Amino acid sequence: MFIYRQCEDYREITMGIFQKIKETIGFGPSLSADNYEQAYESDYIEIDTKKDIGNKAKIVVKSFLITDFADLKDCLDALREGYTIALVNVKPVKDKDIMELKRVVNKLKKTCDALDGDIAGISEDWLVVTPTFARVDRGQMTEEIHE
């Protein structure tokens, strides 16, 4: 009887905590998960696309155009800082010299491995390289980079 009462008290306390969390995030007594979409269906938020956030961003997604091996330095420096996800366009170097392309990809792969990051091809001309905190989902549109 005593153990059962303790379980009932625990359940009431737990449910009270969950109810407070639900009310805090907007799923209070008047708004359930089922009718959330209906309640907010007509509400729109206008987003200012021209707003400059300056240095507030913690993570930067940056594109790099690689025309030769020397262009790789800026990309590698940004990756080594640890806050940049690099989208690398290798089309110019691929069209110019296939051996140069192999050097670029190998250097990116070695740097990525040293940083414990991830690298994948997202098309014939683009690579995505991430630092430690991110990984590339290997879906239908990405290719594993092999040496």
Q: Is the per-residue pLDDT at 1 higher than 50?
A: no
Average pLDDT along the chain: 76
**What pLDDT digit, counting tens, does each position of 86-118 carry?**
999 999 999 998 999 999 999 999 999 999 999
pLDDT for res 2? 45
The answer to pTM > 0.85 is no
Q: Which of 96, 71, 93, 82 is closest to 129 using CA atoms?
A: 82
**What pLDDT digit, counting tens, does each position of 50-70 carry?**
666 666 668 889 999 999 899
Residues listed for the chain: 147
pLDDT for res 90? 93
Which domains, ranges and CATH numbers included, belong to the chain? 2-39 (no CATH), 54-144 (3.30.110.150)
β-strand pairing of 60-65 with 126-130: unpaired
**What pLDDT digit, counting tens, does each position of 22-52 carry?**
666 655 555 555 555 555 555 566 666 666 6
Q: Is the per-residue pLDDT at 8 higher than 60?
A: no
**Which tokens in the block code for residue 72?**
């790789």
For residues 129 and 118, the answer to whether their CB atoms sit within 8 Å is yes
